[in-house]
Amino acid sequence: MKEQKNILKRFYLILLVLIIFVGGIIYKIIEIQVIDGDHYKSIAEKTVYKSFIIEPNRGNLYDANLNLLATSVPQYEIRFDAVTVSEENFNKNLQGLSEALSKFFNKPVSYYKNKLLRARQQHKRYVFIAKDLDYSDLQQVKSFPMFNLGPYKGGFIVEQSIKREHPLGKVGRRTVGYNNVGLEGAFNEQLEGKKGKQFKQKISKGQWKPLNDGNAIEPKDGLDVVSTIDVNIQDIAHFALLRQLEKFKADHGSVIVMESKTGEIKAMANLGKDKDSDSYYEERNYAVWESHEPGSTFKLISLAAALEDKVTDTSQVIDTRNGVVTYYKRKVKDSRPGGYGKITMGKAFQVSSNTAFAQVINDNYKDKPEQFVDRLVNMGINEKIGLEIKGEGRPSIPHPDDNNWYGTTLPWMSFGYGVSMTPLQVLTFYNAIANDGIKVKPRFIRKIMDKGNDLEVFDEPMIQNSVVSKETAKILQDLLKKTVEKGTAENIHNENFSMAGKTGTCQTEYWISSGRYIASFAGYFPAEEPKYSCIVTIHKPDTRIGFYGSQVAAPVFAEIAEKIYTKTPVKDKIEADSIFNIERDIAYNEQIAVSENAIDKMPDLTGLSLMDAISLVENMGIKVQFEGEGNVVGQSVAKGRNLNNVKLVKLTLE
């Protein structure tokens, strides 16, 4: 009896333990499913489900004539699912696939055969094969044995990404820009588009399957931006600057070409020296960013102020005093030893006499220096232009109220020392003189398009203000023309076409050491009814070769002007949607259609612009070399030729 009671006690004890255990399990289930259900569900969903960002296609960036400056090109990465392929298909195609991959990627057959076998044995579903393939490469790899069976039977996995291509290459790299700089940065809001979202389910390591749950948000592709840049003028400016930098072994330089009436920037070249290789490349946008003492190009601004205030005129005679004038024990010197004797103010401008300018400005404003500075302020010299492109340098104009205003400040300002401006700010003033005193804001955009349709067109010049009266502008125009004909820039005078401008030479970094100069030339052409204004700025040329603005910068200006005259017809504004461009675009699109339908055949490139030809051919995985300027008139690989093993095509332009 007692023994039975003990057995029952043990039974009840065990039953109690079981009830407690089962109760604990039931409680945990309730806790997981009900109390903490949302928390654990969230963890599970994050592990199995994930929202992916779908990047939009970035819009194209064009020049004024719809030549591509920047475009998004698809690139492909190839992977292999070794599990989904049947035993029969794997064994049948292993050798053929290994041989095809070996030939295409130039690796041993054994490398690929062992890699594929090992993936099969280890049940891998995401084996890396190759990356950075273009569309032409993808089509060829897609045709290889096993891969040609597709994703399910052949284990062929393709992942696409987008790469930003710049058909101009290094030419205009900083102007075209990237990320947050240049034109790409200035119009990023229009170009970038809007991102989409796609919910996906994880099916294996590294692989996600899209879910069509109705919650996907389609990306919205970016808009196309047509800039004011002209690739032909950009090319002319780039190589003219490059040759001069190399000739004078200079540190860096910039060139800007602007359409006078509209303010459209047609070219902007910036080149700096690579200290390791002594070669030049687009390092910084000096034209927009670098604010520095302009030197004698500022004399146009000084004289404009004095003429507006009527404190001088071009007939006033000034004694250059043997080329040396002293202010507070500091000497102002002319570049010509012994000076120019007694000359008129007009002549002083043409020969760029520092002593004449220092005397006229100091004598007339020394008792009221704020009048001179206020005149400069009224002309807008002290303000940024307010560009779409980021990074504009701030101009600096001293004021008598400043702590660092000295007795020498005013005379030194007269010839461009102690003040600071960027090349584009200087050019904007010169362009205003070309426009009879009307200041036009420099502009980089012509229109915004969506799938070929104009959304917004910018075809009206942005007139900011009048910097001087028309009467003063006409006087200065005459002086700028005479400076080229028989002044400091007479070395570039050409009987065949007229130019107007002013040389500039100033010391730089003189607080560090002597013998460092900035050579510049600013002006416009033709001298009558100007079409383009241009500034050339070259920093720290080798003084043993030359350093004056007339030697170093002016010849670049002249070369650009001559080539624009002879190779780029000077017309009133050419609209980007002209019949010529429409016909060219149709031809280009037809070439693209042909190349996509016959990817293994060389298309006919004749008649295309260089940028279009490069874009078309390089998208087929072929490199391009070219000579000449203009449109394609010859190609080294004949139209219709099979492209197997073709890696390079040479183009002749005319």
Q: What pLDDT, in 10s, does the model give residues 157-210?
A: 888 777 888 777 767 777 887 767 788 888 888 888 888 887 676 666 556 656
| pLDDT score, position 625 | 73
pLDDT of residue 575: 40
Sequence-ordered list of residues with C-beta below 8 angstroms from that of 575, at least 6 positions apart, any chain? 459
The whole-number pLDDT of residue 621 equals 66
280 forms beta bridges with 273
CA 268 vs CA 144, 272, 391: distances in Å: 47, 14, 15
> What letter represents residue 71's amino acid?
T
Q: Are 267 and 236 in contact (CB under 8 A)?
A: yes
Helical spans, DSSP H, in 146-217: 150-153, 173-176, 182-186, 188-191
Q: Quick one: pLDDT at residue 582?
A: 39
Q: What is the predicted pLDDT for the residue at 536?
A: 98
Q: What is the largest CA-CA distance in the chain?
A: 144
Contact by Cβ (8 Å): 111, 99: no
> Is-above-0.75 flag for pTM?
no
Q: Which residues contact 258 (CB under 8 A, 6 or more apart)?
A: 264, 265, 266, 427, 431, 442, 532, 533, 534
pLDDT score, position 193: 86
Write the DSSP symbol of residue 603: P
Identify the pLDDT of residue 220. 85
Contacts of 217 (CB under 8 A, 6+ apart): 54, 196, 197, 198
Beta bridge partners of 324: 333
- The secondary element (H helix, E strand) that includes residue 174 is helix 173-176
Distance CA 600, CA 602 (A): 7
Element (H, E) at 558: helix 554-567
pLDDT at residue 39, rounded to an integer: 61
Taking only the tens place, the pLDDT of each residue in 428-456 is 999 999 999 999 999 999 999 998 899 99
d(CA 147, CA 230): 45
- Cβ contacts of residue 646 below 8 Å, gap of 6+? 602, 622, 637
The pLDDT tens digits for 353-392 are 999 999 999 999 999 999 999 999 999 999 999 998 889 9
Identify the pLDDT of residue 117.
Answer: 94
| C-alpha separations of 331 from 261, 334, 408, 562 in Å | 41, 10, 10, 39
Q: What is the mean pLDDT of each run of 10 residues along the chain (654 residues)?
A: 66 75 74 62 60 80 90 86 92 94 93 93 90 88 93 86 77 75 86 80 62 70 92 93 96 97 95 87 90 97 98 96 94 94 97 97 96 96 92 95 94 96 98 96 94 89 89 97 96 93 92 86 96 97 95 97 74 38 44 46 80 66 70 85 79 80
646, HSE (Cβ side, Cα atoms, 13 Å): 24
Does 526 sit behind a cis peptide bond, omega within 30 degrees of 0 on the bond before it?
yes
Short-list 236, 279, 248, CA closest to 567: 236
Question: First CA to last CA across the chain, in angstroms?
Answer: 120
Burial 502-537 (b: 16+ CB within 10 A, else e): bbbbbeeeeeeeeebbbbbbbbbbbbeebbbbbbbb
For the beta carbon of residue 444, count every other beta carbon within 10 angstroms. Answer: 21
What span, in angstroms and rounded, lies between the C-alpha atoms of 53 and 49?
13
CB neighbours of residue 1 within 10 Å? 4
In the prediction, which pLDDT does 615 show?
Answer: 58
Question: Taking Cα atoms as reference points, which of 498, 568, 561 lies closest to residue 532?
Answer: 561
Going 282 to 288 to 290 to 295, the CA torsion angle's sign is positive
Beta pairing partners, 606: none
Q: How far apart are CA 306 and CA 414, in angstroms?
A: 10
